[in-house]
Amino acid sequence: MTPQQTAIGLWILRGLAAVIMLQTLFFKFTAAPESVYIFSTLGMEPWGRIGIGIGELIASILILIPATTAFGALIGVGLMSGAIFFHLTKLGIVVQDDSGQLFIYAVLVFISCSILAWSRRYQVFHLFQKNKTHFL
């Protein structure tokens, strides 16, 4: 792959992760019945629903800004790890006859964010190297 093709691929992953997380915010912030059901089942309604929505909003914004993509991707990996965990343990893959759509979205965002975090790992390492000199 050429560098240009790689850059286009990474932009596609950024868009995919951000769009999926941003489109779910409507349901979380408007207390849609599906979201209330999910977070009630987890014992996290309403604070979990709103808090995770805020986390997804922050992750999406950071992913779309090139200088902060790695940090948004790391947040996205963390959030989607939780979503996948709860789907596999408490919620089930299919939630309220959604054919597994929410689970699939969580997996897609997890994979996209993992690739983005790995491809931009130098951003994280650079931050730690900069701060290392402050502690000497």
pLDDT tens digits, one per residue of 39-90: 999 999 999 999 999 999 999 999 999 999 999 999 999 999 999 999 999 9
- Tell me the three state secondary structure of residue 135: coil
Indicate the number of domains in the chain: 1
Residue 133: pLDDT band by 50, 70, 90 thresholds?
A: low
Count how many Cα atoms sit within 13 Å of the Cα of residue 15 in the half-sphere of its side chain.
Answer: 6
Please say if the pLDDT value at position 122 is more than 60.
yes
Distance CA(47)–CA(76), nearest Å, equals 19
Longest dimension (CA), the chain: 56
**Digit-coded pLDDT (tens) for 51-65:** 999 999 999 999 999
Residue 134: pLDDT band by 50, 70, 90 thresholds?
A: low
The residue segments making up the domain with residue 61 are 3-134
Q: Please give the structure tokens belonging to residue 93.
A: 């893959």
